[in-house]
Chains A and B, each alone.
Chain A
Amino acid sequence: MSMSGSAVELPITTDATPEEKVSSRQLKKQLRLQEAKTKLSSPWASGVAIVLAILWTIPTFGLFVTSFRPPADINTSGWWTFFANPGVTFENYTNAWGAGLSEFFLNSFVIVLPAVIIPIALALLAAYAFAWIDFKGRTILFVAIFALQIVPIQVTLIPLQTIFVNFGLQNSFWPVWISHTIFGLPLAIFLLHNFMKEVPASIIEAARVDGAGHVKIFFVVLMPLLVPAIAAFGIFQFLWVWNDLLVALVFAPSPNLRPITAAIADLSGTRGNQWELLSAGAFISMIVPLVVFISLQRYFVRGLLAGGVKG
């Protein structure tokens, strides 16, 4: 791909570091060119940007404020009146948590760990074989796996469910783990292969000359270099599994298995007017992805720009 992760960072932030010293003339020129690409920036452009940012944030902010208001207030006045007439309670959260969301939260957690670890491990092995082992039919197999990315999940669900029923696995976590693993594999292999290919062949060759076999090269030479790539895909898969609704509805239908996202969707249908429950519940379901996103944003953006998009 033509875009690299580092390009996302502001290009001019390092002028203070001594090792990347640029003459001030060069720096000025760089700045001018950067500006020329867009050149729409002016005070009023910034103003428009701020207005848009606020517009984009208000819906979330409104529900967030609502989740801390007493139910009586929520149902009789808009959340914007909160600032004139504040009344804060944490009961919505304790009630939602007590009303069963704690169990759904646990289910999400139980689902997400294997559904992230297993596809990454499998994809790493496959990506290594595609990148560094010579064998007949390598290109064809790789292209075939790349092409499988286009199969919509919907196309696979009914026969997959029949398979799980035949093995007596229905109504357990196994179908959820296995299907998330399978759906994540094509993208994972593609991404990790691209990263593995970037490792200089000379490093691999040197290890081979030293007598290292494939397994040793894989673990000792490649794995340490691939940590950023693994993090990028890991976050992707994590958010995708945690936020998933379709696989959960199909393969984890019973309350004993249901993850929190599916539980919130269910609440929206059955108790759509209980905003004290829905608002708090929605934020409970969002807290984990938000923390992951905010703390690991760099990796997430890098994965996104490397072509990591699925749905």
Chain B
Amino acid sequence: MDWLLSPTSVADKLIVMVFAIVLFVAIMALILWVIDHPGVPNWVVVVGFLGPVTIALVIGLLYPALGTVYRSFQVSTTALGGDGKPIINPNTGQKTTELTFSFANYDRIFTDPTFQKVIVNSVLWVILVPLLATFFGLVYAVLVDRTRFEKAAKALVFLPLAISMVGASIIWKFVYDYRQAGVNQIGLANQILIWLGLDPYQFLLTEPWNTFFLIIVMVWIQAGFAMTVLSAAIKAVPDDIVEAAQIDGATGFKLFRKVTIPTIRPALVVVITTVAMTSLKAFDVVRTMTGGNFGTSVIANEFYTQTFTQGQTGAGLGAALAVVLFIIIIPVIVYNVRQMRISEEMR
């Protein structure tokens, strides 16, 4: 069974992949075969169609989410014996630790200056990325609307969305590359500074502006999404509304501001909230470009660092950070869903 759990050769890997797919298909076929008999009660059919998904989501999403909330309230402390002294493990000679219930993880996230910085950075990301990406996406969608090169122009801005955030980070890390003054620059950003007669600048190392240079990367990625959705919304503005406004004498920018913008408002809300959530949850850019160093870490990145590199203490802090992330997201989603329902009722 070694090939099944730890395949190493190319052939083994491909075989285990095919095996996984075949196994899955076989199980599904068996379930469907069982329920596909006349006279099978309705509930069996429902269980057949929905059972696998429900089990997967309960075990894979619901239970872990609750577990993380629970873990976020646990702190690793030294276990005390009946005599009030730490219990020493006779085999290792180390103090035994136990998990106790406490608010210490949350307390530390909101009072420790390092974590406060992380939260401030996250707030900057969540506000700036959606606003800038949406603004750019809207302007661009309007500018290229019905031009001869519309399709190609859109594809160019859309492209960053198809590649990974890691790839985008590498692209921009090269743009920001720094060589000391006097040496040929190989990063475009510093070369532009040189051309302007300025000194080269450590874009990724110099606080506090380095966070903004990371944010630019995310704007660069997300603008394509904003543009695509908003462009479709603009094209879907009903002709009769525009006609009525024209009869009333609205033209040009006024027409755009008074008619087009209010009509595409639902799409604007969807875009802003979606980009906000993406930029809150994504850690790829920070991870790849600075590793969260130099004061650039955000909640999603700090979650990873704490959870997977800092042992028991970190696991509690990481869980608390994940819960904070979750709590920030909830109102955004509720607002989004409410807006969607309002716009659906209007139709």
B residues in contact with A230, CB < 8 Å:
none
Whether B184 sits at the interface, judged by CB under 8 Å, is yes
* A213 and B49 within 8 A (CB): no
Residues of B within 8 A of A311 (CB): 277-278, 281-282
User: Of residues 147 to 173 in B, which have CB atoms within 8 Å of A's CB atoms?
Assistant: 147, 149-151, 153, 155-160, 162-167, 169-173
Q: Does A279 reach chain B (CB closer than 8 Å)?
A: yes
Contact yes or no, A114 B24, CB < 8 A: yes
The verdict on A37 contacting B255 (CB below 8 Å), with A265-B166, A282-B171 known, is: yes
Instruction: Find out whether the CB atom of A113 lies under 8 angstroms from the CB atom of B21.
Output: yes
- Whether B143 and A185, one on each chain, are in contact in the complex, defined by CB atoms closer than 8 angstroms, is no
Residue pair B56, A181 in contact (C-beta under 8 Å): yes
Cβ-neighbour of B52 out of A122, A172, A261 (below 8 A): A122
Q: Are A177 and B184 in contact (CB under 8 A)?
A: no
Residue from A126, A148, A256 within 8 A of B61 (CB atoms):
A148
B53 touching A123, Cβ below 8 Å = yes
From A16-24, A74-82, A88-96, A195-203, the one touching the partner chain is: A74-82
Contacts of B46 in A (CB 8 A): 129, 133, 135
A46 and B147: CB pair below 8 A?
A: yes
Q: Are A33 and B242 in contact (CB under 8 A)?
A: yes
Which residues does chain B contribute within 8 Å of A148, judged by CB atoms? 57, 61-62
A282 & B170 in contact (Cβ 8 Å cutoff): yes
Number of interface residues of B (CB under 8 A): 138
Asked whether A268 lies within 8 Å of B169 as measured between CB atoms, the reply is yes
The CA of A194 and the CA of B5, in the complex, are separated in Å by 37
Interface residues of A in 43-96 (CB under 8 A from B): 45-46, 48-50, 52-53, 56-60, 62-63, 66, 74-80
CA–CA, A155 and B246, complex, Å:
51
* Residue on B nearest A219 in the bound complex, by CB: B32
Are B143 and A46 in touch, CB under 8 angstroms? yes
B contact patch SS: helix
The CA of A14 and the CA of B288, in the complex, are separated in Å by 46
| Per-position binary interface string of chain B over residues 216-235, scored 1 when its CB falls under 8 Å from any chain A CB and 0 otherwise | 00001001010011011111
Interface hit among B84-92, B96-104, B116-124, B315-323 = B315-323
Residues of A within 8 A of B319 (CB): 158
Q: Which of A41, A135, A249 contacts B43 (CB 8 A)?
A: A135
- B188 at the A/B interface (Cβ < 8 Å)? yes
Quick one: CB contact mask for B318-337 with A, threshold 8 Å, 1 for yes?
11011101100110010000
Flag the segment in B63-71, B75-83, B107-115 that touches A: B63-71
Query: Is A209 on the interface with B (CB-CB < 8 A)?
Result: no
- Contact of A305 with B by CB under 8 A: yes
Q: Are A215 and B347 in contact (CB under 8 A)?
A: no
User: When chains A and B are docked, how far (Å) is the Cα of A150 from the Cα of B62?
Assistant: 11
**Contacts A156-B61, A272-B173; is A37 near B287 (CB within 8 Å)?**
no
Contact (Cβ within 8 A) B246 A78: no
Residues of A within 8 A of B149 (CB): 50
What is the minimal beta-carbon distance from A151 to any residue of chain B, in angstroms? 5
Q: Which residues of chain A are within 8 angstroms of B229 by Cβ–Cβ distance?
A: 3, 304-305
Count, chain A residues at interface, CB 8 A: 130
Tell me if B5 and A172 are in contact (CB < 8 A).
Answer: yes
Restricting to A234-286, which residues have a CB under 8 Å from any CB of B? 239, 242-246, 249-250, 256, 261-262, 264-265, 268-269, 272, 275, 278-279, 281-282, 285-286
Partner among B64, B164, B239 whose Cβ is within 8 Å of the Cβ of A157: B64
Whether the Cβ atoms of A159 and B56 lie closer than 8 Å is: no
A125/B50 in contact, CB under 8 A:
yes
Instruction: List residues of chain A with CB within 8 A of the CB of B175.
Output: 59, 62
Interface string of B133-151 (1 = CB under 8 A from A): 0001001101111110111
Q: Taking CB as reference atom, which chain A residue is nearest B33?
A: A215
A169 x B5 contact (CB < 8 A): yes
Q: Is the CB of B36 within 8 A of A214?
A: yes
Q: Is the CB of A245 within 8 A of B162?
A: no
When the two chains form their complex, are residues A110 and B329 in contact, meaning their CB atoms are under 8 A apart?
A: no
Residue-wise, chain A 154-175 has the 8 Å CB interface mask toward B (1 for contact) of 1111111011000011011110
Residues from 243 to 285 in B contacting A, C-beta threshold 8 Å? 243, 246, 251-253, 255-256, 259-260, 266-267, 270, 274, 277-278, 281-284
B56 touches A168 (CB 8 A): no
| Nearest-neighbor residue (CB-CB) of B176 within chain A | A59
Question: Residue on B with the closest CB to A254?
Answer: B6
Contact B164 A242 (CB under 8 A): yes
What's the minimum C-beta distance from B145 to chain A, rounded to whole angstroms? 5
Between-chain CB contacts (< 8 Å), 12 pairs: A33-B242, A37-B234, A114-B20, A117-B21, A135-B43, A145-B53, A145-B57, A156-B60, A182-B57, A264-B164, A269-B288, A282-B166
Task: Please report B residues at the A interface, Cβ cutoff 8 Å.
Answer: 4-8, 10, 13-14, 16-17, 20-21, 24-25, 28, 32, 35-36, 38, 42-43, 45-46, 48-50, 52-54, 56-57, 59-65, 67-69, 71, 136, 139-140, 142-147, 149-151, 153, 155-160, 162-167, 169-175, 177, 184-188, 191, 220, 223, 225, 228-229, 231-237, 239, 242-243, 246, 251-253, 255-256, 259-260, 266-267, 270, 274, 277-278, 281-284, 287-289, 291, 300, 303-304, 307-308, 315, 318-319, 321-323, 325-326, 329-330, 333, 340, 343-344, 347
Given known contacts A122-B53, A293-B162, what 8 new A-B pairs fall within 8 Å (CB)? A45-B143, A50-B149, A118-B24, A158-B319, A163-B59, A275-B174, A279-B174, A304-B225
- Which 4 residue pairs spanning A and B have beta carbons closest together? A243-B164, A182-B60, A159-B67, A293-B162
